[in-house]
Amino acid sequence: MPWEPLTDEQLEVRELVRTLARERIAPRAAEIDASHEFPWDVVELFREHGLFGLFFGEEWGGTGTGTLLSLVAIEEVSKVCATSGLILAVQELGSLGLKLAGSEEQKARYLPSLAAGETLAAYALTEAGSGSDSAAMRTTARREGDEYVLDGSKRFITNAGVAGLYTVFAKTDPDAGHAGISAFVVEAGTPGFEVARLEPKMGIAGSTTGELLFEGARVPAANRLGEEGEGFRIAMRILDRSRPGVAAQGLGIAQGATDYALEYARTRETMGKPIAQHQLIAAKLADMETRCEAARGLLYRFGRMVDEGAPDAELTKASAMAKLFCTDTAMAVTTEAVQILGGYGYIKEYPVERMMRDAKITQIYEGTNEIQRLVIAREMLRESRAFLLAGLA
């Protein structure tokens, strides 16, 4: 038996998710991609088997099984369908604001329905003119009595139109840069709030990505997360914990592509033998597998850090490294998988074409990989490593 980093309990859950992915989701993956329709049947499957609960504590109706297992679930689903894996990852992304900064009343009001999957969540930070530069956002929130009036727009928002709950960031002090940003929970159906359009995309075609418009949208002051001006700090704390969800998606895509390419290479023959026995193809397969295992090490390390109570300051660098390496691996490995399949890899009859298209977005959303490198380097510069140089001439 291969060595496993997971406990027996975690392996049982992984096997459940793996079986659901292979038997129920994999047969739908190509159709989801071709139709560009949000897969509500997959959402129902997750609800039925309690998979949304993996991201929540028992007090809110979740399983309380921890971060590592939730990342494993995203990885397993993403091996066969990146769109479906993203549904799980974004449920965590859109819920983290409440979990990290919500009041007990806010948590009691919203978390049970999120844990059950009755309500889907979304995270609305990015705007047309402010992606990596959050301080440049133009959406405003003006206090009027017991309400805030939101005006502006958000762009590239995953789950737009299907989410029932949006974590939205807006400027309560437009002149204060990062310190002027506040966070709000906005319910779908709020007057003055609408989804303006959905974007056609290269990959993750079954996931909705859209533009949100706020025109005098009135949100109760009770729906503000934390204090005024704490929004940027909340947003960064959320991303530190949510980026590994995208890392898990990327790893799943990469491992799925590796597994498919391996099986193809075992059966496809040229020059009288399977192409897996040709040195150039064997070398590709070896590199693909090694990258996946290295990525898994970074990802699972992050999951264990959270489960063992590592302080927030320790999570930033670990999160960025996992996201960077897993998603770069996804792009590199799927490109090689297409190459191994040759002409077959380039046509839609074979899944590696879809996997390659799906992989690209993982290097972009929830912080581009260029930003991840800046974050990692910044954290390195804060560390004291002088002891490593002791005794060197």
Nearest to 232, CA basis, from 172, 146, 155, 149:
172
Nearest to 229, CA basis, from 197, 277, 182:
182
Nearest to 134, CA basis, from 231, 245, 243, 225:
231
- CA distances for 42 relative to 45, 85, 206, 291, angstroms: 5, 10, 11, 29
Q: Which two tokens stand for residue 94?
A: 């859109």
Annotated active-site residue in 366, 370, 379, 383: 366
Single-letter residue type at 221: A
Strands, DSSP E only, in the chain?
A: 121-124, 140-144, 147-158, 165-171, 181-187, 193-198, 209-220, 224-225, 269-270, 273-274
Helices 369-382, 312-341: inter-axial angle, 10-degree rounding: 140
Count Cα neighbours of 179 within 13 Å in the Cβ-side half-sphere: 2
Please name the residues in contact with 213: beta carbons below 8 A apart, sequence gap of 6 or more. Answer: 153, 193, 194, 195, 196
Cβ(358)–Cβ(204) below 8 Å: yes
Nearest to 291, CA basis, from 315, 324, 242:
324
Q: Is 366 a residue of the active site?
A: yes
Task: Name the pairing type of β-strands 193-198 and 181-187.
Answer: unpaired
Catalytic residues, which ones?
366
